[in-house]
Structure 1
Amino acid sequence: MVGTEFFGNFDLASAAIWGFYIFFALLVYYLQTENMREGYPLETDDGAPAPNQGPFPVPKDKTFILPHGRGEVTVPSGQHPDRPVLALQRTSKAAGSPYVPTGDPMMDGVGPAAWAPRRDVPELDAHGHVKIKPLSSLPDFKVSAGTDPRGKPVMTGDGEIVGRITDMWVDVPEQLVRFLVMDVNPEGSGKIRLIPMNFAKVKGDRVVIRSLYAHNVDGIPGIKGKEQITLLEEEKVMAYFGGGTLYADPARLEPQI
C-alpha cells in the first residue's frame, strides 16, 4: 500500500531530526540576512558596487522605531548613501594595493584617524538620560582612588606643556572616567578640548598624552555642548588621538626597531 511503503521507515525521531535541520537552515539564513543590514551592499575601495556580494541576498528595508523619541531609522537603504571622497591615493593599479594619504591625514580623517558617521546626538542610558557628564555637575561622584588629575599640567609626546586639566567627564551608568577636560593654555584661556582617558597617562605631577605633539593640539576636534558630547563628536575625538599615534610625527611612519 502507498501509506505503508511511504511511512514504513519514517517515525517520530526522523520527523524531529528533519524538522531540526530545516529550522536550523532557516535560522542561519535569517541571522545572516539580518546581519547584512549594516555595511551592505558591498563596495570596492573606489566606491563602486562589489562584483561579489556573497551567497545571501541583501534584506528588504526594515524600519526601526528608536527609543526616547529619537525618530526612526530604515536599513539597509537608510545608511549613508553619499560616500565622501577621501584624501587617499592608491600606490598601484593592482587590486588590493595600499592607499597613502594625500593631505593631512589627521584632519582628513583617514587611516588610523578615520571615523564613522555616527549620529550627532548624545548617547543615552536605559532611562533616557545622557550617559557622559562632567564630574563637576555630579555631586554624588568623587575620586575615591588613584591620582586626581584635575589641576595638573598636560604634556604632549614631544615634552611640551600645552594645557591643564580642569575637569573629568564620567560615564554615569558605568562609573568610569571617559574624558579629561583640558584648558588649552597653562594660564587658563577658557578654550577647552577633551582628552580620551585611554590616551592619557596620569602621573603624580602631570598628565601625559604621548599620541599627540604640541602642534597637533589646536586640531583636536571641539564639541558643541558644554556638558555633553555626541556620538559623532566622540568618534572624531577618539579618531584624532588614534591617528596621532602614527601621524603626529613623520618619524612614526618609519619602520620601528
Structure 2
Amino acid sequence: MVGVEFFGNFDLASAAIWLFWIFFAGLVYYLQTENMREGYPLRDDKDDVPANESLWPLPKEKTFKLRDGRGELTVPSKDYEDSKMRKDLALAPSGAATGSPWVPTGDPMKDGVGPASWAPRKDHPELDAHGHAKIKPMSSLEDFKVSAGRDPRGKAVVGGDGEVVGRCTDMWVDVPEQLVRFLTVDLNPEGTGKTRLIPMNMAKIGTDRVTVRSLYAHNWDGVPTIKKTDEVTLLEEEKIMAYYAGGTMYATPEREGTVL
C-alpha cells in the first residue's frame, strides 16, 4: 500500500490542506501588493510619506508596455505619482487636526476642487479594441440613428435658473457601447461655433427642451472646452464632468448654504 510502505505514517490529507493554506496565503500577499502599484507611495496632508503607509511592503517596480504605441509605464514610481499630483490647489484645511476637511479658497468651479475636483487623466481619447476613439459625434457616424426615446437635437437647452442658454445640435456616442455620453449645445445658435459638451447623465430631455439643473446662465461660458471637434480626451471628459457636478453646489452662492 502506498500510504504504508512508501510514506509510512505521513498524512496525505494533512499535507494537502497545509499546501492549500500556504498557497492561499501567498495568493493574498501577491494580490495585496499588486494592488499597490498605483496610488503609492501614499501622501499625508503635508505631502509626506506617512509612517504607517501599509501593512504590506510596496512591490518592486515593474514596467508595462502600453498599447497603441503610447510608450511605457513603470509602477509603483514616486516620479509617476508626483506627475499626477495637482500642485497649488486653492484649498486650505478647516482645522489644525490631521484629517480635517479641506475647503476651497478660490473659485471652486474654475479651480476644480471639492465637488468640482478632477483627476489628471491622460490627455488622449479612450480607444476601442481596434485603436479607434470610442466616443464620437453622431453627426460623423452614418450608421447611427435615434431608435428610441426623444431626440434632443434642435431642442432649447435650459439651465437650473430657467434661462435658455442655447440649442442642442449633436450627440456624442460611445460607439462600442452604443450609448449617448454627451450632448453638444451651441451657446450662440446664430452660428458662431461657441459650443460646449453636456454630460448625458446631467441632462434631462423633455418634449421641448433639454434641462441641466446643475448650471445657471452665467456658468456656461466656463464649461471646459475640447481641442478637437471630433474627439474628446480622457482629461477633457474628467474636467467637463467635474464642472457640471460642481455646479450642484457652487453654481450660485445660495447653493453652498445649509439646506433644511
TM-score range, shorter chain: over 0.9
Match of 1:58 in 2: 58
Query: What is the match of residue 90 of structure 1?
Result: 93
For normalisation by structure 1, the TM-score amounts to: 0.94
Distance in structure 2 (CA, Å) of the matches to 1:129 and 1:188: 29
Which stretch of structure 1 is more off in the superposition, 161-170 or 186-195? 186-195
Consecutive unaligned residues of structure 1, counting only runs of 5 or more, are none
Query: Could you tell me which amino acid in structure 2 is paired with residue 41 of structure 1?
Result: P
- List structure 1 runs of 4+ shifted beyond 4 angstroms: none
For residues 48 and 135 of structure 2, the distance between their equivalents in structure 1, rounded to whole angstroms, comes to 38
CA deviation vs aligned residue, 1:16-56 (integer Å, no higher than 9, x gap): 11111111111111100110011111111232211211110
For residues 8 and 102 of structure 2, the distance between their equivalents in structure 1, rounded to whole angstroms, comes to 65
Which ranges of structure 2 fall in alignment gaps of 5 or more residues? none
1:1-257, aligned counterparts within 5 Å?
Answer: 10-77=10-77, 79-82=80-83, 83=85, 84-257=87-260
What do residues 107-154 of structure 1 show as CA deviations (whole Å, max 9, x unaligned)?
A: 111011111111111100111111001101111100011111001111
- What is the one-letter code of the residue matched to 2:37? R
In the superposition, the TM-score normalised over structure 2's length comes to 0.93
8 A contact 2:40–2:81 mirrored in 1 = no
Whole-Å Cα distance in 1 between the matches of residues 45 and 216 of structure 2? 31
RMSD: 1.5
CA distance in 2, matches of 1:53, 1:10: 43
Assess, with a 3 A threshold, how the Cα gap between structure 1 residues 256 and 9 changes in structure 2: closer, same or farther.
farther
Counterpart-to-counterpart distance in 2, 1:36 and 1:20: 25
Secondary structure of the corresponding residue to residue 80 of structure 1: helix
Equivalent pairs: percent with the same residue?
68
Deviation at 1:254, TM superposition (A): 1.5
Partner AA of 2:73 in structure 1: V
CA distance in 1 between counterparts of 2:138 and 2:115 reads 30
Q: Secondary structure at the match of 2:172?
A: strand
Aligned length: 252
Distance 1:44 1:150 in 2: 47
Aligned-residue offset at 1:9: 5.2
- 8 Å contact from structure 1 (residues 160, 214) kept in 2: yes
